[in-house]
């Protein structure tokens, strides 16, 4: 099962184990080894070699063996034709934008996105390269349609959105994009391909921070772009080879190893997050809970349509309390760790205060400060007990 074309014959978990992996011909090892060399042997006459090619093993910035194996697996899990793996999720996002966009192009992007997307499209590409951008609440496809211009090249959405868990209808927005001759990219990091596959819903590109759920262990960094080879070849040549966003062999190997357990971990993340969200929603000291699996979530019906079998492991919530009480609540947690990132095996929480530069784009309930909570794979009862005792310590229970 070394090629992603085998994906149709096998289930998700089988592909997570086997695609990109074969018996090593040199050692007989049944797992791919780490190839740490940064340079590969040249042919007898190297004068015809394209030194900027990413098509073969030449120099690790052009691509390496561990990267190739990981690309095969991610393309298969996402249901896409091809994949480029880069050094981080932000490298993948910026690599996609850099390769696709030219001066004078127009981009529509979600009002709730990862902070790097907000800065790349709202500031850097706009100010440095003359790319026009429009921020839109993409939870309503009509807003996207209304923002289309003759020069719209790309629509970029994030669903569920970071950090408010906003849901956008991928199929509906893909239809709008393609009717107007634009492309659609979807940041799928919060869902992972286990819960949602944007390519199968009509998107042109699925972008993943491999650092998060696909690796799942908080010990490596990487990013992936999945789509058609004609576009991915451009990204390889421009963003990987010429900008140097290549992933290290060791990180590619770690993510390959972590991805094997993605379906097992995601089932637990999904189940735990749902239990925790329901428990939090029932607490009088909790001001709001945002989780697409809850019937109270504005995007619940759309999420049910495009996410299966679960709604991911991230939720947001706020307390009926002032700024300092939110911080004191975190200080009392014992199982849950106060740290950035998400998708790790352990539960992570971060307090986002009232001074976030994107606050004006968030729904009203987020304006008094809130937590982004990445629910881990610990026993749900222990996570809930940790939340309960911290609420009690700050006088909200």
Whole-number pLDDT of residue 8: 66
C-beta separation of 205 from 96 below 8 A: yes
Exposed (0-12), middle (13-18) or buried (19+): which is 243, by Cβ within 10 Å?
middle
Average pLDDT, the chain: 94
Q: What is the mean pLDDT of residues 44-65?
A: 79
Residue 1 has pLDDT above 50, yes or no: no
Whole-number pLDDT of residue 317: 98
Whole-number pLDDT of residue 32: 87
Q: What is the tens place of the pLDDT at every residue in 228-245?
A: 999 999 999 888 888 888
Alpha carbon separation from 18 to 132, 261, 267 (Å, rounded): 43, 12, 19
More confident residue, 210 or 241: 210
Q: What is the tens place of the pLDDT at every residue in 288-334?
A: 999 999 999 999 999 999 999 999 999 999 999 999 999 999 999 99
Whole-number pLDDT of residue 291: 98
Q: What is the mean pLDDT of residues 4-30?
A: 83
Percent of the chain with pLDDT over 70: 98
Residue 2 has pLDDT above 60, yes or no: no
Residue 129 has pLDDT above 60, yes or no: yes
Whole-number pLDDT of residue 7: 55
Percent of the chain with pLDDT over 90: 81
C-beta separation of 107 from 149 below 8 A: no
Q: What is the tens place of the pLDDT at every residue in 171-200?
A: 999 999 999 999 999 999 999 999 999 999
Whole-number pLDDT of residue 254: 97
Whole-number pLDDT of residue 5: 45
Model's pTM, two decimal places?
Answer: 0.94
**Token output for 141:** 């496809």
Q: What is the tens place of the pLDDT at every residue in 369-390?
A: 999 999 999 999 999 999 999 9
């Amino acid at each position: 099962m070394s090629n992603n074309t085998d994906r149709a014959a096998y289930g998700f978990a089988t592909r997570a184990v086997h695609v990109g992996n074969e018996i090593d011909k040199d050692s007989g090892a049944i797992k791919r080894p780490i190839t740490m060399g940064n340079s590969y042997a040249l042919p007898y006459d190297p004068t015809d070699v394209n030194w900027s090619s990413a098509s073969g093993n030449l120099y690790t910035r052009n691509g390496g063996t561990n990267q190739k194996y990981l690309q095969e697996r991610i393309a298969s899990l996402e249901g896409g034709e091809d994949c480029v793996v880069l050094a981080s999720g932000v490298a993948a996002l910026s690599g996609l934008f850099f390769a696709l966009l030219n001066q004078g192009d127009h981009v529509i992007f979600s009002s709730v996105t990862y902070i790097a997307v907000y800065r790349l499209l709202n500031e850097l590409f706009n100010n440095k390269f003359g790319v026009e951008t429009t921020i839109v609440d993409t939870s309503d496809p009509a807003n996207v349609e209304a923002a289309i211009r003759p020069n719209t090249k790309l629509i970029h959405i994030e669903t569920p959105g970071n950090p408010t868990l906003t849901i956008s209808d991928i199929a509906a927005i893909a239809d709008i994009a393609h009717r107007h001759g634009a492309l659609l990219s979807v940041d799928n990091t919060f869902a992972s391909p286990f819960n949602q596959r944007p390519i199968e819903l009509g998107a042109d590109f699925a972008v993943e921070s491999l650092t998060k759920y696909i690796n799942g262990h908080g010990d490596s960094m990487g990013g992936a772009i999945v789509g058609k080879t004609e576009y991915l070849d451009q990204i390889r040549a421009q963003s990987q080879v010429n900008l140097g966003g290549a992933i290290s062999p060791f990180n590619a190997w770690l993510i390959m190893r972590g991805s094997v357990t993605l379906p097992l971990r995601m089932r637990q993340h999904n189940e735990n997050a749902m239990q925790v969200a329901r428990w939090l929603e029932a607490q009088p000291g909790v001001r709001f809970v945002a989780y697409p699996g809850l019937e109270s979530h504005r995007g619940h019906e759309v999420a049910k349509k495009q996410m299966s079998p679960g709604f991911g492991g991230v939720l947001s919530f706020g307390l009926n309390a002032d700024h300092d009480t939110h911080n004191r609540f975190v200080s009392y947690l014992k199982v849950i760790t106060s740290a950035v990132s998400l998708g790790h095996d352990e539960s992570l929480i971060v307090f986002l205060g009232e001074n976030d530069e994107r606050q004006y784009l968030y729904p009203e309930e987020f304006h008094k400060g809130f937590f982004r909570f990445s629910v881990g794979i610990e026993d749900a009862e222990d996570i809930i007990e940790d939340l309960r005792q911290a609420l009690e310590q700050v006088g909200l229970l």
